[in-house]
Amino acid sequence: MTRKPIAAGMFYPDNFEELDKQIHKCFTENEKGPGALPIERRDKKIIGVIAPHAGYQFSGAGQAWCYKEIGEAEFADVYVIMGTTHVGFPEAATVIDDFETPLGTVNVDEKFAKSLIEKGVVVEDKMAHQNEHSIEVQLPFLQFVNKENLDKIKIVPIVVGKDANYEKLGRAIASVAKELGRKVMLICSSDFTHYGVHYGYVPFRGMNIKDKLKEFDMAAIKWIKELDSWSFINYVEETGATICGCYAIAAFIEACKSMGAKKVRVEQYYSSGDVTEDWTNAVGYASIVVE
């Protein structure tokens, strides 16, 4: 079985040529993007990235920063993609079905996914993925920077809910990678603070929203840079920060630590308000690389 795309035509074009063109522009023509395509070499050593997942017209430039790094890094045996669950699924869930996008089909590493299921850190649940866009919108970018290896791309898709044991999940991902001898790249799909009445979160009313939103998100990113998942989640819970993929980020941090992470750098940060020039309702986008 193949999971059909549900975000095509909304978050990104549903036509091959239009989609390829839009992603290309995110790299080369958007002022918030990296300004260039990945250099044709695969010698960078990175463990993973945190990339935004909104419509490409908003967050595509932020994604491009992350995928430039992925496109210049060693091709991975498997890309473990951790996303949020906007539909409220409480646990961590994977799926064995391959994913289809307008750029082709991306295959799931069944053995890796089933090993995580056997360890009890994820469940297999198609419904948790059926209407969830956070993992799907990463795939066209992954395909774009791996055009020479399209048929070899393997993923493990995992949505991470609030009841998931993010510490065990992160450590299990690193453990399974070692057991199976897989070269793994981690991709965490998350936007940052969602501000405004539309999102039910207005702590900065009457203030300079643009500056306060960045300041608020950077306070959360501080804990990511320190690879401190507990303090990151504690910050989210104490402030009520509307970081949609917070539990996926926490699992990502634990996986990165277990895989020997030493350095975290923020490549780009901006918000949807910087695109629309309207901060009444705005979402923060961070592009983060872990080495």
Q: What is the pTM of this model?
A: 0.97
* Count of structural domains, the chain: 1
With CA atoms as reference, report the closest residue to 99 among 140, 39, 44: 140
- Owner of token pair 């080369």: 28
Task: Identify any residues that bridge with 160 across adjacent strands, giving them in sequence order.
Answer: 92
pLDDT of res. 41? 78
Give 9-18's long-range contacts (Cβ < 8 A, gap of 24+).
10/55, 11/54, 11/55, 11/56, 11/133, 11/137, 12/55, 12/56, 12/60, 12/137, 12/140, 13/102, 14/102, 15/102, 16/102, 16/103
List the structure tokens of 99.
Answer: 């994913």
The CATH number assigned to the domain holding 250 equals 3.40.830.10
Cβ 66 vs Cβ 267: under 8 Å: yes
> Which domain covers residue 169, as residue numbers?
2-290
Q: What percent of the chain has pLDDT over 90?
A: 93
The pLDDT tens digits for 36-88 are 999 987 788 999 999 999 999 999 999 999 999 999 999 999 999 999 987 77
pLDDT of res. 234? 98
Question: Is residue 188 over pLDDT 90?
Answer: yes
Q: Left if phi > 0, otherwise alpha if psi is -120 to 50, otherwise beta: which for 275? A: alpha
Question: Is residue 101 over pLDDT 90?
Answer: yes
